[in-house]
Structure 1
Amino acid sequence: MKPTRTFRLLPQTYRSLFSYREFRRLLPALAVSDLGDGMSIVAVAWLAVQTAPPGRSGLYVGAAIAAYALPGAAGALVFGRWLRRLPARRLLAVDCWLRALCLGCVPLAWAAGVLHPVLYVVLLAGSSVLHAWGSAGKYSLVAQILPPERRLPANALISSSASASVIAGPALAGFLATAVSPAWLIGLDALSFVVLAVQVGRLGDGTKQAPASAPADTARSASGLRMLRGQPELLGILALTWFFNFFYGPVEVALPLHVTEDLHAGSGVLGLYWTLFGVGAVLGGLTVGALRRLPVWPVTLAIVAGWGLTLLPFELGAPTAVTFTCFALGGLIYGPFTALSFTLFQDRTPADWLTTVLAARGAALLTAAPLGTALGGPFVAALGPRDTLAVSGVATLVLALVATGFRARARYGTPPRGPVRAER
């Protein structure tokens, strides 16, 4: 079959990925699932508002959003004893089927008139309890079906798909919600996980490996987080990512209030900020995946510093057009971060430990942004939206400087344990 003209326009690093049948099958299903999650960004909160008890909508919406994310951290710890031995493909499939079942019950309960607020929160919590393991299985599966030199562009495509879903998903949800209840949009998200689970089950023998058992010293083997203590470089990137997400958290509180209180504008302006950020993130992610040689740590630290810089113009009272540009640039800068981080973990972690370590990573990071968001409210109340955005930017810059110092010290004292294939 001759490649289409559009396909030939892709950079060679991306074209080569589609020569791997398993990845060619997996990527569209991941994109469908990402789109479903993008719609749920709107649908979960919207349905919570509609079903909240009178006078308690704020508390209930917060509980629903937290239930859709935070239980994954507990699941990574509670179920690790059993799940760390499962192959990556089965981990991803189990997570998809659980999410499909729990989320699929939401529209059924709504249609039957029994969607009590407590039941809604329980179903959302159940859908997310294996989220850290599902994410670990996804990126471990990519590491299995592709050679090391193809992992960075593959991770870039996957992270760009997630970024694109933040643009398209809420827009599609807003359009569909004019005709149907948000409960049915959550049902579409459940269906998207069925699509992914079925496609994962159809992957060829190239992805079948022995269950990911622990190393020979199983009786005294450590958990994923304990193993990371013996991998200073991975522990460093995990700490950097945690604080990066933590300092980002207040932005989600401050930006809407900046729009309403400082700019006296409506939801359209807020939506445009996030749309520009999402477009920038997609472009940034795709760009880094097309590069063949990349110094991973220097680029990662530059991303952290660059995002901090894009928040400073808010404090200076810059015109809205300038802050729009800064947010788009911030997305462009941030876009490569996820792909680089996962590539570093994939290349530095022994294959038998990859799902366990990635699940521990996911569990740790699930707490970062929510904690930052929780602190954002008091900061905005004390400082105002603009100052809070600026404090977030300054803290992120300080983080980049501190991490650069630690990295320089570690590099001088101890050489890296193994090469990252994208690094020269």
Structure 2
Amino acid sequence: MPTPLPRRPTWASRNFRIQTAATVISGLGNAGAPIATAFAVLGNGGGATEVGYVTAARLLPTVLFLLVGGTLADRLPRHHVMVAANLFSAASQAVLAALVLAGNVQLWQLLVLSAAGGAGYALYSPAAGGMIMQAVPQEHAARAFAVFRMGLNASQIGGAALGGALTAAVGPGWVLALDALCFLVAASLRFFLEPESAPAPSGGGMLRDLREGWREFASRRWLWVIVLQFAVVVACINTVEAVYGPTVADERLGGAGAWGLAMSAYGVGLVVTGLLMARWRPRRILLVGNWGVFLFGAPALALAAGAPLPLLIAAMFLSGVGVTVFGVNWMVVLQQEIPEEMFSRVSAYDELGSYSLAPVGTALAGPAAAALGLSGALWACAALCLLLSAVVLIDPQIRRLSRRDPQGSTPDAPVPAGEPAPAP
């Protein structure tokens, strides 16, 4: 008798499956692209300062255009916005790959094309968040978001390992070309997304929509307190992962292959913890999520202490654990607390605040390392992550905000043993 195929969960709608598959594919390329870009700069005679400038060039347009992306996503069909953004990113990465493969890429070209990639992300991200929120019923939100993040995080493992290996074996240009191809395939998949309930803008202009989004954002103290925390934490993480980590790997750990392996361990931590989060529904969702933020600084600690590669791999794994614990709970909180018609605009303010200091942090990475020493700059990043994770717990809203279960089942309870396991 043939073995029956696993039954697809009822909450896994067509849009959820397409968006998850497209995210996994684009994530494969995106995980390797920062490694390739960093080593393209290093291979072109640059150092930590130049890597920081190129990373900042990508982050600055992300910050500048997120509000535009959020407003467009609440006014236009979200899948159209995502497809257009993916096609734009595919084109910019293809041009960058061609220049790197030709062997004559200049720093200004790296800066301009990295900035184009950041603008593409700014237009894509708020629409993607709104689409995945619409595709998931609230009663299954924690499980669905955990599965979604597991798919994304699994692509981080393969993408980082492949990106590091290909960069070491054949050079960064081919990794950037792969990223462009992944964007193109993802855009093709998202073309088949079905529009959910149409966004309902106010009927006024874009400025009015932005003011409404700001009022929604500013009225929730727990939201802007976390965003203020992440403005510094994200700046530190980006500096460590995009600038200091590749620099240390190039100096004493064996180069791009070693850094790709460490980033893969980060991805393993993301996926393994996703299995837990698919079944665990903590009641104090923000409190539990912030416990994960304490682990964000582990890679900076390992690099600052001069740890060998195995200990760095363990630290990257722990960081991945923390990111998933926070990320799944954060998605549940936003879906629970933010009205659907406002979600993309509020998400844009969330990301704008969270990324606001990242361009400054990466641009100052080289000067900070020169002033404090590379080890001193890494100790500072780790200390800031730990300190801010503790400080936000002073806010009672963050400690007490609780899950509202629409079906009345008990939070913190495990999934019944007889229930089918979720599948992507």
TM-score in terms of structure 1 length: 0.78
Contact 2:265 2:316 in 1 (8 A): yes
TM-score in terms of structure 2 length: 0.78
1:196-227: per-residue Cα shift (whole Å, max 9, x none)? Answer: 222222123xx432234137898855153443
Tell me whether 1:237 sits opposite 2:230 in the alignment.
Answer: no
1:378 Cα deviation (Å)?
A: 4.7
1:305 Cα deviation (Å)?
A: 2.7
Q: Which moved more, 1:309-318 or 1:191-200?
A: 309-318
Contact 1:307 1:334 in 2 (8 A): yes
Could you tell me how far apart the structure 1 residues matched to 2:164 and 2:401 are?
48
Aligned to 2:192: 202
Given candidates 241, 254, 273, the residue that maps to 1:266 is 254
Aligned to 2:113: 123
1:353 Cα deviation (Å)?
A: 0.8
Shift in CA distance, 392/90, structure 1 to aligned 2, threshold 3 Å: same
Aligned to 1:170: 160
Given candidates 307, 310, 330, the residue that maps to 2:319 is 330
Given candidates 193, 210, 221, the residue that maps to 2:183 is 193
Aligned to 1:214: 202
Contact 1:280 1:330 in 2 (8 A): yes
Could you tell me how far apart the structure 1 residues matched to 2:371 and 2:18 are?
51
Letter of the 1:22 partner, please give it. N
Given candidates 15, 30, 52, the residue that maps to 1:37 is 30
- Residue 386 of structure 2 aligns to a residue in which SS? helix
Could you tell me how far apart the structure 2 residues matched to 1:281 and 1:128 are?
23
Could you tell me how far apart the structure 1 residues matched to 2:305 and 2:103 are?
51
Shift in CA distance, 319/22, structure 1 to aligned 2, threshold 3 Å: closer
Contact 2:48 2:365 in 1 (8 A): no
Tell me whether 1:151 sits opposite 2:141 in the alignment.
Answer: yes
Could you tell me how far apart the structure 2 residues matched to 1:177 and 1:151 are?
38
Q: Which moved more, 1:136-145 or 1:225-234?
A: 225-234
Contact 1:249 1:371 in 2 (8 A): no
Q: Which moved more, 1:280-289 or 1:365-374?
A: 365-374
Aligned to 2:61: 71
- Residue 337 of structure 1 aligns to a residue in which SS? helix
Contact 1:87 1:212 in 2 (8 A): no
Given candidates 381, 390, 396, the residue that maps to 1:401 is 390
Tell me whether 1:305 sits opposite 2:290 in the alignment.
Answer: no
Contact 1:76 1:363 in 2 (8 A): yes
Tell me whether 1:348 sits opposite 2:337 in the alignment.
Answer: yes
> How many residues are aligned here?
405
Shift in CA distance, 140/374, structure 1 to aligned 2, threshold 3 Å: same
Could you tell me how far apart the structure 1 residues matched to 2:98 and 2:247 are?
36
Shift in CA distance, 132/155, structure 1 to aligned 2, threshold 3 Å: farther
Structure 2 gaps of 5+ residues are 413-424
Contact 2:59 2:115 in 1 (8 A): yes
Shift in CA distance, 132/287, structure 1 to aligned 2, threshold 3 Å: farther
Contact 1:249 1:376 in 2 (8 A): no
Could you tell me how far apart the structure 1 residues matched to 2:250 and 2:92 are?
36
Contact 1:234 1:344 in 2 (8 A): no
- Residue 246 of structure 1 aligns to a residue in which SS? helix
The alignment-based identity, stated in percent, is: 28
Given candidates 393, 404, 419, the residue that maps to 1:419 is 404
Letter of the 1:68 partner, please give it. R
1:340 Cα deviation (Å)?
A: 2.0
1:363 Cα deviation (Å)?
A: 2.5
Shift in CA distance, 348/114, structure 1 to aligned 2, threshold 3 Å: same
Given candidates 107, 126, 129, the residue that maps to 1:139 is 129
Letter of the 2:327 partner, please give it. T
Could you tell me how far apart the structure 2 residues matched to 1:180 and 1:149 are?
47
- Backbone CA RMSD of aligned residues: 3.9
Shift in CA distance, 36/173, structure 1 to aligned 2, threshold 3 Å: same
- Residue 294 of structure 2 aligns to a residue in which SS? helix
Could you tell me how far apart the structure 2 residues matched to 1:285 and 1:245 are?
21
1:369 Cα deviation (Å)?
A: 3.7
1:215-254: per-residue Cα shift (whole Å, max 9, x none)? Answer: 7898855153443111222222322332332343453455
Letter of the 2:199 partner, please give it. P
Tell me whether 1:362 sits opposite 2:355 in the alignment.
Answer: no
1:321 Cα deviation (Å)?
A: 5.3
1:359 Cα deviation (Å)?
A: 1.9
